[in-house]
Amino acid sequence: MSGQDPQDHGSWTASLARLAIDLQEEARIYREIARETKQQFEAVRQGDADGLMAIARRKQEGLARVGEIERRIDPVKRAWIDRREEVPPDLRSDVEEALGEVEESLGTLIVLEEEAGSAVAALHRGTSDELQRIQSNRRLRAAYHAGPADGAPRLLDGKH
């Protein structure tokens, strides 16, 4: 599409048909990333760091593909905003439907990502709290084994 002038009528119609196809592909990729995000919940729950890394990589690859599509369709999308009323109804409907698919799949992905972020944050808080408890217990044990600063016997040792 980037080699076509979106203002030329024949090229414009072909560009819009391609725009609908590219938008459908973008929506498909967002749904794919959403599935990965759902798998991320399970990997977090299981503490699967390798799985999380693989999921993150696949999600990044998907986002890179979306970025490529967005760069390619940008000129037509900008022209669409100004010229959409000139488009034949059937083609306009195709593009609007594809835009709706992108909006819906992206909305779903955003919700899932927010939930995943909350789950990871909760896991992090839980892990952090557990580490603090462990450190506190170690300090208590170290203080007990060190004994009183004045060298007096400890009550629990039975040497009083």
pLDDT score of 3 more than 50: no
* Phi-psi region at 95: left, alpha or beta (left = phi > 0; alpha = psi -120 to 50): alpha
Reference 63, options 32, 99, 100; nearest CA is 32
The confidence score (pLDDT) of residue 142 equals 67
pLDDT one-digit tens code per residue, 22-78 = 999 999 999 999 999 999 888 888 888 899 899 999 999 999 999 999 999 999 999
CB 33 within 8 A of CB 59: yes
pLDDT one-digit tens code per residue, 108-141 = 999 998 888 777 677 666 556 566 777 766 766 6
- Domain regions of the chain by residue span: 9-147
The confidence score (pLDDT) of residue 6 equals 47
Give dist(CA 99, CA 103) in Å, integer: 6
The confidence score (pLDDT) of residue 70 equals 96
**Mapping DSSP to helix (H, G, I), strand (E, B) and coil, where does residue 4 land?**
coil
> Which residues, including other chains, have CB under 8 Å from residue 160's CB and lie 6 or more apart?
153
- The single residue listed with the structure tokens 């009323």 is 85
pTM of the model: 0.70
Residues found in the chain: 160
Report the pLDDT averaged over residues 7-17: 81
Residue type, 54: A
> Which residues, including other chains, have CB under 8 Å from residue 38's CB and lie 6 or more apart?
112
